[in-house]
């Protein structure tokens, strides 16, 4: 709904009711120019939202904040969020199909890493990724602001010395895995690929339920070293962990 500033001033209670009771947004104009917006109150973190999964009708202005500002918000919120390149991404609940695929994968990983030093973990599991600036190979340095992500599945091989006093993991995963969805595909294929690559992750699995495929990237010196693509009827094989393999068809077939 679009109203003028004078109309809003004269009928504020009426428009406030539309916002609070009908969950309706009111756009305010002055001299026929849009100048403000009256929206339902959700929480104090709402003003920082830049990407909200499955909520494309919201037209939030893109803005960046510092990692410290994000953590101040995050520690006070029960909302699942990720922080990438200075922007907050609010996570929606995964679909039942997503969870079924993830469960099948976790069974394979759990069996492979049984009695091994490395261990697999499922989301939600916060990991802080400290990326490197690799534009000059002779002078690799940390990028100022890290990312905080919740990969769908991770493999940790450095647990012994990387658990802080709050019980939080502070190391870097050896392997990360993301299951694509319509709302996160570009983030997983572009932003997270770059984050994992430039923060020291050794291997990144991208699982695509729509096309029933698995792509695996191997990283070396903060760059892509190898990558392979697997489809139905093939066996996806890890570059880093010898013998870790997944029958692509068994991951996707007969889920229910």
> Could you tell me the CATH number of the domain that includes residue 21?
3.40.1620.10
- Gap between the Cα atoms of 187 and 18, Å rounded: 35
Residues 82, 123 within the same domain: no
Give residues with Cβ within 8 angstroms of 246, minimum separation 6.
Answer: 105, 108, 214, 235, 236
- Gap between the Cα atoms of 223 and 112, Å rounded: 27
- Conformation bin of residue 254: beta by default, left when phi > 0, alpha when psi is -120 to 50: left
Higher pLDDT, 62 or 176: 176
pLDDT of residue 49: 45
The mean pLDDT value of the chain amounts to: 84
Q: Quick one: 253 exposed, middle or buried, by C-beta within 10 A (0-12, 13-18, 19+)?
A: exposed
> Could you tell me the CATH number of the domain that includes residue 232?
3.90.1570.10
pLDDT of residue 53: 42
Residues 201, 75 within the same domain: no
pLDDT in tens, 175-212: 999 999 888 888 999 999 999 999 999 999 999 999 99
Q: ω before 124 within 30° of 0 (cis)?
A: yes
Residues 22, 106 within the same domain: no
Domain holding 36, by residue range, is: 1-41
Counting the structural domains of the chain, the total is: 3
Residues 35, 66 within the same domain: no
Residues 1, 15 within the same domain: yes
Residues 125, 60 within the same domain: no
- Gap between the Cα atoms of 88 and 81, Å rounded: 7
Residues 143, 32 within the same domain: no
Q: What is the DSSP letter of 159?
A: G
Confidence of residue 23 (pLDDT cuts 50, 70, 90): low
pLDDT in tens, 121-166: 998 899 999 999 877 666 677 788 899 999 999 999 988 888 887 8
Residues 138, 22 within the same domain: no
Give the other-Cβ count within 10 Å of 248's Cβ. Answer: 19
Residues 213, 123 within the same domain: yes
């Amino acid at each position: 709904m679009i109203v003028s500033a004078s109309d809003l001033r004269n009928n504020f209670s009426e428009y406030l009711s539309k916002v609070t009771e009908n969950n309706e947004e009111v756009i305010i104009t002055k001299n026929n120019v849009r100048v403000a917006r009256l929206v339902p109150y959700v929480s104090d973190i709402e003003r920082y939202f830049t990407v909200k999964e499955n909520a494309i009708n919201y037209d939030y202005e893109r803005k960046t904040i510092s990692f410290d500002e994000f953590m101040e918000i995050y520690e006070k919120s029960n909302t699942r969020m990720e922080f990438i390149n200075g922007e907050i991404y609010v996570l929606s609940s995964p679909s039942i199909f997503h969870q079924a695929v993830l469960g099948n994968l976790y069974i394979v990983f759990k069996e492979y890493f049984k009695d091994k030093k490395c261990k697999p973990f499922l989301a939600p599991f916060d990991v802080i990724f400290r990326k490197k600036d690799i534009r000059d190979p002779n002078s690799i340095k940390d990028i100022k602001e890290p990312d905080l992500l919740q990969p769908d599945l991770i493999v940790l091989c450095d647990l012994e010395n990387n658990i802080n006093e709050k019980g939080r993991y502070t190391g870097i995963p050896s392997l990360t895995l993301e299951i694509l969805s319509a709302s996160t595909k570009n983030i997983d294929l572009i932003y997270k690929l770059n984050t994992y690559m430039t923060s020291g992750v050794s291997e990144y699995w991208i699982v695509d339920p729509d096309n029933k495929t698995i792509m695996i990237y191997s990283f070396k010196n903060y760059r892509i070293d190898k990558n392979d693509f697997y489809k139905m009827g093939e066996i996806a094989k890890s570059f880093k962990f010898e013998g870790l393999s997944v029958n692509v068809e068994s991951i996707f077939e007969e889920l229910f």
